[in-house]
Chains A and B, each alone.
Chain A
Amino acid sequence: MKALENLFDRIVQRVNINLRELEVDVNPFIKELIPFGQLVKFYSFYGVTPHHPLDFQFRHSSLAGSYFLGKCRVMNSILYKSDVRGDELKKKDDVFRYAEYEIPMSEDERIEIEDSFLIKTLVHNFSHDPETLEKFFITNTVSTHYANIHGSPTDGSYLGPFATVDLTTMNDCVIGAFSYIQAGEIGHLDIPPGTVWVRSPGNFNFLYRYPQDKLANYIYFTKGKPPQGVFIDFVEDRKEAFQRVFESVNMEPSTSVPKSASLDRFAVIKPKTHISDNVLVAQRAYLQNSWMGKGANAQENCYIINSRLEGFNVTAHGAKIIEADLGQNVFVGFNSFLRGRPDCRLTIGKESVIMPHTIIDIKKPLSIPAGSLAWGLITDASDLAANSIPLKEFAAINGKFNKGELYFEGNGAVFTASFRDRIHHILEANGAFFDGKKNRGHAQKNQNISFNTIQPYPEGEQEGVYPTIIIRP
């Protein structure tokens, strides 16, 4: 296992060099987070479809339990149970629009992961950086449990558990646990845990920060210990169900799936779950006793339990919905945790937007009116009053706005429109609007994926490291 140990040390050194200005040493955080023995235990797998370029390169890396789709290259890296989903990468001759520029793609875009350690991390979407359109890179970076690197070229950075970087180019940054960053381009920033920051320079700036003492109950991560808190307990309690789907070679769907819908074979579906037309259920999603209305989706690491989603609902990567009823077109952002109780359900009216990284954890019934924007920590009606606003009212803001721990500056109409457009784009990309002929998306294209498995050296100096593998048509 010497090669694996050397690889780990090499990655840590490279990340620390990049973060020296912030005086951050990632080693104590990650040293024993994943015992090296675990990296030998799990196979890695990649998807083959006629809809995505087949071009994988794996060199001098450990890929335990990780999944790859689309054009990817991994070098000198350790990936543990991570999903690298390249089904939204740009294709040759696509035209990327940025400001007044229209930039044609000279080749198919590729995800390139080098000198990085990703733990249970999701990599998805495509590079939004006009300077690196053909290459969505992740280099010299460490990311921890359930982090999302979404359309964000990243170099020399560290992401805490449940952190998300979305549509942002990031250099030499530390992103604290459960922080969500969508800011275009950032560098040399140390973002505290529980920061929700959405910025479009010249248009708007939205910032909410969780009270640290209350956030610690949900996610707490310190040196030398694994992440702790409600979020971790919640996923650990359901871990066994995933072990069964990963151990079986062939899985028959446990519920009927319409022809226009897609249920990934690496998702967990518990009884009495209903899947309607155009529904997309991604790998590592967990559905139990829930109703998925037409065009609804459950992306990677989503949990939907004892809930009803009326249709065209976006449940973004890592979001959890428990004992809740959601009207049509409700958007639930990345890693949000919405927990009603059997005797006090959570109701969210149609066309509401639940901001990424929102926690709604109630002990009395709570109803969010249709067309609301909600954010932050909400445990009862008074929190809801402090941390929500009708979308129409928010759209009328032009200038300065402050409500509780939310700070907003800029144009509310542009902010709400950008969310509305993005939700529409996600539904479109997922195939929610498929009419039998037109508007195919992931739900239709990802129905028939072949999965091939690859494995590392089982013993010796190279134990846990995969041999160089190049897979092409």
Chain B
Amino acid sequence: MKDYLVKDLMVPLSEYATVPEGSTLYEAVQALEKAQEEFDHTKYKHRAVLILDKNKHVKGKLSHIDAIRALEPKSDTDNGIKHLIQFGFSHEYVNNLRKKQRLQGAPLKDLCRKSYELKVEDFMQATAEGECIDHEATLDIAIHTLVLGNHLSLMVTKDKNIIGILRLSDVFAAVFHSMKECSV
């Protein structure tokens, strides 16, 4: 079996969908679409957009679920509802309030319009230490890190700078490829 390294499997930052901080949700979705059109190395598509600060360093990641979550109806009351559990209210009570609020929420069309106003940094996921991996790390380490943190991708670092992204799909493809090469 080939000894893959992370740098062999990662998608370089230059090929990944990125937007600068301050971009809107709409701009992030456009960037993702563009990257998918240009990137055809595998049948697996990009599933996230990276957010870059003014020094072009990766600040966070916007995944599909983050984008969808941003379109959910939100208000101060909704934020408050989240904290009711800490005060001993039942899950049934909290879910009921959420349901009630959703029914009272604005239609999707209006929320889509708001996607021009929503800023990516308000709903992206900031890069955490546990989801980074060195570019020289082996596939074993990468698998371990993905499984341990339940991640869909890892940020690949070189000298503390993020240089690419290692997706679960690429790791799976490498493992699957090795499996096929096994002579049983």
Contacts and interface: CB of A to CB of B under 8 A. Distances in A.
Interface of A: 183, 189, 197, 199, 201, 205, 207, 209, 211, 400, 402, 405, 407, 409
Contact of A400 (B76, B86, B96): B96
A183 B86 CA distance: 12
Nearest to B93: A409
Contact of B87 (A207, A400, A402, A405): A207
Given A205-B87, A402-B97, A407-B84, 5 more contacts: A189-B86, A207-B87, A407-B89, A407-B93, A407-B97
A333 B177 CA distance: 71
Contact of A209 (B80, B88, B100): B80
A405 B80 CA distance: 9
A163 to B, nearest CB: 16
A183 B100 CA distance: 27
Nearest to A400: B93
21 contacts: A183-B88, A189-B86, A197-B87, A199-B87, A199-B88, A201-B88, A205-B87, A205-B88, A205-B89, A207-B84, A207-B87, A207-B89, A209-B80, A211-B76, A400-B96, A402-B97, A402-B100, A405-B77, A407-B84, A407-B93, A407-B97
A402 B100 CA distance: 11
A36 to B, nearest CB: 38
Contacts of B100: 402
Interface string B79-110: 01000101111100100110010000000000
A405 B76 CA distance: 10
Contacts of B89: 205, 207, 407, 409
Nearest to A184: B88
Scoring B76, B89, B100 by chain A CB atoms within 10 A of each residue's CB, the highest score goes to B89
Contacts of A207: 84, 87, 89
The 3 closest A-B pairs by CB, nearest first: A409-B93, A207-B87, A409-B89
Nearest to B84: A407
A189 B87 CA distance: 9
Scoring B84, B86, B93 by chain A CB atoms within 10 A of each residue's CB, the highest score goes to B93
A9 B115 CA distance: 51
Contacts of A209: 80
A183 B87 CA distance: 9
B98 to A, nearest CB: 11
A199 B77 CA distance: 21
A187 to B, nearest CB: 12
A174 B69 CA distance: 31
Contacts of A409: 89-90, 93
Contacts of B93: 400, 407, 409
